[in-house]
Structure 1
Amino acid sequence: MKRKVGLMTFSDGREYVHKDLININKAFEQKLVEALESTGEIQVIRSNKIVNKPSVAREEAVFLNNSGAQMTIFNYAVWAFPHFSVIASKFAPPPFLLFGNINPKYPGMVGMLAAAGALDQDGTQTYRVWGDIKQKDVLRKVLAFVRAATARNMLRGQRYGLFGGRSMGMYTAVPNVDLWNKLFGIDIEHIDQLEIIEKSKKIPDQAAKSAREWLEKLTRKIHYDGKQLTPEKLELQIKSYYAVKKICEEFELDFTGIKAQPELTEHFVTMDLTEAFMNDPYDFDGPKEPIVCATEADSDGALTMQILKLISNQPVLFADLRHYDEQDDFFDLCNSGEHATFFAAKSYDPAVNLAKVELYPESFYFPAGGASVRHIAAPGEVTLARLTRKNGEYVMTVIKGEFLDFGEQKNEEKARNTQIEWPHAFAKLKISADDFLATYSSNHIHGVYGDYVEELVHFTKLLGFNMRIYA
């Protein structure tokens, strides 16, 4: 996924001064372009001209907008007339990052601050970074905002597929259609779960059989028990996965949530395998883009996951806050078979991950049976998050943490203490359990590997939401 970033460099409005500064401006612009594109995640769309006239500001801003830029960087290396930036802001795609280069012989910082002040006065939302783009900390600040800004705009026009309705009475899982459209620009498509059942019938038996054999070859073990988990039930789960994937294509869905409980889990088959592989960067047929899929039709959970995906460009975890282990000070994040297999080893190679994955028969909660996709999440730094609503307004909660690995024997002991057949992530949070449980407002939580707190701060500010950070 490439983030399309527009770039405009501003100059002095006096023609004779502008001509003398052309090469300086181009050199600083080129350095910025090279640094951004070296990350591998940004495609820079730069304006055709250095801006030195009102007409150029307008024309180049329109060009960036028509070229599909998802945000715009205003670049300052010399003194630039501030009204150029104001004019450009009316036509270029927001959000705007104002970048000031280190160039002490020319008053570029003055130009950036003058433009920033003018934009503040007319209420244009901006973010500023100043420094040498070749410095890691400077590039990191720019990337954090770029990821948040592009994620914000990528959400607009997306479609969420909601299979079924409210699951097991969870108010926190139900979306507000008008609010989502107003705040995020997201359309919600309601789909009956019967579509999954009917589409499953049309999946060729051979496709399901080949996928089952692929799982039997690559997974650590499949615990067939002749009742809850049989080859036939596993193939029905595989057909369900293909059915949901097909529905996403037909309805042009960008992310999804499936109710499952109780109708499908009691009368058809569980959606655990479907949800796990929807969230994975591969399936039985090869590499693919992860499609966020939240269990229990948790729509605010799915939305949180989609935001994390767009910011990090990674698969995203969905889990319950199942248990707090006081002895080793961690939360066991565990929810049926919903965890993407990616989390087993943090690899984009399915063979590496599935070597650590076992398929267990479903528990008594799910009489229809099927496989629970079970593994222990690989260790590493994580960013956990959740959008919740308080008194009708959204709040973004962000938690820094770490997934722990106690070694295979102790991992198994810890998993058995809660539910052996379900996947687990042992999360040590940077906050006390008492403080967290006293203030966190959901039974579900979501996360990605790495530190994306700064990105989520920017994202939340761009939307004007309240925020709570546990870090």
Structure 2
Amino acid sequence: MNKITVGVFSPNDPRPWVRSQNLDMMLRYEKFLVDALKKKGVNVIRGGEGLPKEDQLAWNTNLVRLHAQNIARANADAIIINEGSWTFPYDSRDAVAAFANALDNIDRGIARVLIYAYKDTQVPGLVAGMAVGGALKRIGLPYQLVYGKVDKDEKAVDEILRVLAFYKKRKDAASTAVAAIEKLKCQKYIAFGGMSLKMCTTTADVDYWAKNWGVSYEALDQSELKARALELIVWKKQPGASAPSKIADKRIQNAVDYLYKNKHGQFDFTSRKFPDINKFIYQLSFYYAAKDLFERYGATFGGIKCQDELSARDCTQCVTAAFMNNDIGPEGKSKSIYPVACENDMDSAMTQMWLYLLSGRPAGFGDFRDVEDGRLAIVNCGQHPPYFFGKSTENSLKKLDYAEYMGQEIFYDAGGAAVRGRTPGGETMTVARLARENLRYFMTATVIETTEVRKEDHKKYNLSWPIILGKLPVPDKQMIEMWPCNHLGFTYGNYLPHLVEMAERLDIGYLVYDETGRKHAKIS
């Protein structure tokens, strides 16, 4: 791994009669750890380096602060609390705080903590490690704990290295996370409609957003979308059910020409929900209406209720959401990315916004449809951005050719096209969801490795809907239990370290499983 700088903080019992018996043992166990790390290429800073022998272990408050400050001055990326035997937990907790507050860089106030307890059953090293863990947990400080003999057990060394590898990725992601938090303060959410389908998890506290994240908010009725859409086209009879007599907005005609006439995508008119191009033209008018209203109100992300008013009376908003989230518009030109969630799911849209700010790339909205044999299926009503119908390295414009416009399913009486596609295999993808537990925010996330989706797989799920399949680093049951609701956000790449860094700096909880299946958590 890229070289990480780690501080080793080794406390000791403040009672002189204990120290007189354990000092050599404690220093020997510390040396085992330091040597094992250095052998693996880790840059190690001992908090007590250069001090008198007894003071090389922090046995009083002044030494605790001195050791922690020594580690902080070296700009350590993480701190290891090294427990060789029983020590007083408050000292280790104080060391974590002193280290974090002494950092003179972007990490000030942030401590990436690993507790290492040496396995010697004749002394209470694990007891000390668990006591320190409990002390940190009581005040909401996250940590990892490793128990073993690094001088004899290579598995213990490997476990430490896996934790440090994630910490190094967090350190490398810190500046991007800080920049994303700054950009978050400039965002504005626009809601088209209210709660969809009585889903409690789609609502958010906009006052919390404003106070804690600096995010603004605007609420419009869905009728505003329709009103603007009807300004763009003159219809002979019923909109979408008849031919237009005049397409007043040339953007719509350009999109029809590019996607339909020039065959950049496939159209299937065999469904009664999608009998001809006219319904698609109506859907396009809603997309451009949304785009215009975003610009008019200065919005940067948002949600569309869709169900039931628009999906039952006019048309589904799959085309709107798919292309708002995309980096290429339906007329084949580059455009700004607007993270948009279906069903006006505000916390999903916020998740997408985080992923977009971190990656600079589209972030989609999906349903947690199925988990089977270690594989997650993300399948929903047709709004996956076309960006995800090809590889991350593939030309975004070319990906429009892979979209399939199919008639919608039974839930949407007014019909229209879903934007169907299949995400290719071999991609790392972050799946995440901001949610609330007992009204407190936390971030849930993991990564998947996408696998190929066959055309016949649509028969297993929905004939009209896009599909993402991906291998999970955690068991099926665990994945279901950890996920906070039915929706998720996704983007290409591994942004778990970035999400953890954002959560830490915004002081919210998180539950993240990295690519190795290791849990990283902070209480909400």
When the two structures are superposed, what TM-score results if normalisation uses the length of structure 2? 0.63
Identify which of 223, 240, 247 aligns with 1:194. Answer: 223
Once residues 393 and 402 of structure 2 are traced to their aligned partners in structure 1, the CA distance between those partners, rounded to angstroms, is 11
Once residues 324 and 100 of structure 2 are traced to their aligned partners in structure 1, the CA distance between those partners, rounded to angstroms, is 43
Identify which of 311, 316, 321 aligns with 1:265. Answer: 311
Query: What is the match of residue 470 of structure 2?
Result: 427
SS, match of residue 202 in structure 1:
helix
**1:467 pairs with 2:513:** no
**1:330 pairs with 2:314:** no
SS, match of residue 444 in structure 2:
strand
Please report how far the alpha carbon of residue 281 of structure 1 lies from its aligned counterpart in structure 2 after TM superposition. 0.4
Query: What is the match of residue 438 of structure 1?
Result: 481
SS, match of residue 287 in structure 1:
coil
Once residues 280 and 454 of structure 1 are traced to their aligned partners in structure 2, the CA distance between those partners, rounded to angstroms, is 24
> Which blocks of at least 5 consecutive residues in structure 1 are unaligned?
1-96, 102-113, 129-135
Identify which of 168, 172, 178 aligns with 2:197. Answer: 168
**1:383 pairs with 2:467:** no
Identify which of 286, 290, 294 aligns with 1:248. Answer: 294
Once residues 427 and 443 of structure 1 are traced to their aligned partners in structure 2, the CA distance between those partners, rounded to angstroms, is 17
Please report how far the alpha carbon of residue 385 of structure 1 lies from its aligned counterpart in structure 2 after TM superposition. 0.8
1:320 touches 1:334 (CA, 8 Å); kept in 2?
A: yes
SS, match of residue 402 in structure 2:
coil
Q: Over aligned residue pairs, what C-alpha RMSD do you find?
A: 2.8
- For residues 247-269 of structure 1, give each alpha carbon's deviation from its aligned partner in whole angstroms, at most 9, with x where no partner exists: 00000001010000000000111
> One-letter code of the match for 1:125?
G
1:219 touches 1:358 (CA, 8 Å); kept in 2?
A: no
When the two structures are superposed, what TM-score results if normalisation uses the length of structure 1? 0.69
Once residues 421 and 155 of structure 1 are traced to their aligned partners in structure 2, the CA distance between those partners, rounded to angstroms, is 35
> One-letter code of the match for 2:512?
I
Query: What is the match of residue 405 of structure 1?
Result: 452
Once residues 365 and 100 of structure 2 are traced to their aligned partners in structure 1, the CA distance between those partners, rounded to angstroms, is 40
Query: What is the match of residue 317 of structure 1?
Result: 364
CA pair 98-310 structure 1, distance change in 2 beyond 3 A: farther
SS, match of residue 467 in structure 1:
strand
Identify which of 73, 87, 109 aligns with 1:125. Answer: 109
Identify which of 212, 216, 219 aligns with 2:256. Answer: 212
**1:340 pairs with 2:324:** no
Larger-Rg structure: 2
Please report how far the alpha carbon of residue 340 of structure 1 lies from its aligned counterpart in structure 2 after TM superposition. 0.3
Matches within 5 A, 1:42-441: 118=102, 125=109, 143-204=172-233, 205=247, 206-216=250-260, 217-225=262-270, 227-229=272-274, 230-283=276-329, 284=331, 286-326=333-373, 329-345=374-390, 346=392, 349-379=395-425, 380-405=427-452, 411-441=454-484
2:169 touches 2:497 (CA, 8 Å); kept in 1?
A: no
**1:454 pairs with 2:497:** yes
Once residues 118 and 183 of structure 1 are traced to their aligned partners in structure 2, the CA distance between those partners, rounded to angstroms, is 25
Query: What is the match of residue 31 of structure 2?
Result: none
Once residues 73 and 180 of structure 2 are traced to their aligned partners in structure 1, the CA distance between those partners, rounded to angstroms, is 18
- For residues 305-356 of structure 1, give each alpha carbon's deviation from its aligned partner in whole angstroms, at most 9, with x where no partner exists: 0001001111012110112234xx3121011111000000135634421222
Please report how far the alpha carbon of residue 150 of structure 1 lies from its aligned counterpart in structure 2 after TM superposition. 0.6
1:403 touches 1:426 (CA, 8 Å); kept in 2?
A: yes
Query: What is the match of residue 56 of structure 1?
Result: none
Once residues 140 and 435 of structure 1 are traced to their aligned partners in structure 2, the CA distance between those partners, rounded to angstroms, is 24
Please report how far the alpha carbon of residue 357 of structure 1 lies from its aligned counterpart in structure 2 after TM superposition. 1.4
Once residues 398 and 494 of structure 2 are traced to their aligned partners in structure 1, the CA distance between those partners, rounded to angstroms, is 24
- For residues 85-115 of structure 1, give each alpha carbon's deviation from its aligned partner in whole angstroms, at most 9, with x where no partner exists: xxxxxxxxxxxx99959xxxxxxxxxxxx99
- The count of aligned residue pairs is 351
Please report how far the alpha carbon of residue 448 of structure 1 lies from its aligned counterpart in structure 2 after TM superposition. 1.2
2:73 touches 2:103 (CA, 8 Å); kept in 1?
A: no
SS, match of residue 188 in structure 1:
strand
SS, match of residue 458 in structure 1:
helix
CA pair 236-316 structure 1, distance change in 2 beyond 3 A: same
Query: What is the match of residue 7 of structure 2?
Result: none
Task: Indicate the percent of aligned positions where both proteins have the same amino acid.
Answer: 28
* Further displaced range: 305-314 or 195-204: 195-204
Once residues 317 and 420 of structure 2 are traced to their aligned partners in structure 1, the CA distance between those partners, rounded to angstroms, is 14
> Which blocks of at least 5 consecutive residues in structure 2 are unaligned?
1-71, 77-97, 113-164, 234-246, 515-524
Query: What is the match of residue 80 of structure 1?
Result: none
2:328 touches 2:397 (CA, 8 Å); kept in 1?
A: no
CA pair 154-99 structure 1, distance change in 2 beyond 3 A: farther
SS, match of residue 460 in structure 1:
helix
Once residues 277 and 350 of structure 2 are traced to their aligned partners in structure 1, the CA distance between those partners, rounded to angstroms, is 34
- For residues 378-417 of structure 1, give each alpha carbon's deviation from its aligned partner in whole angstroms, at most 9, with x where no partner exists: 22111111101000101111112111115xxxx1222210
Once residues 214 and 457 of structure 1 are traced to their aligned partners in structure 2, the CA distance between those partners, rounded to angstroms, is 41
> One-letter code of the match for 2:367?
D
Please report how far the alpha carbon of residue 236 of structure 1 lies from its aligned counterpart in structure 2 after TM superposition. 0.6
> One-letter code of the match for 1:447?
F
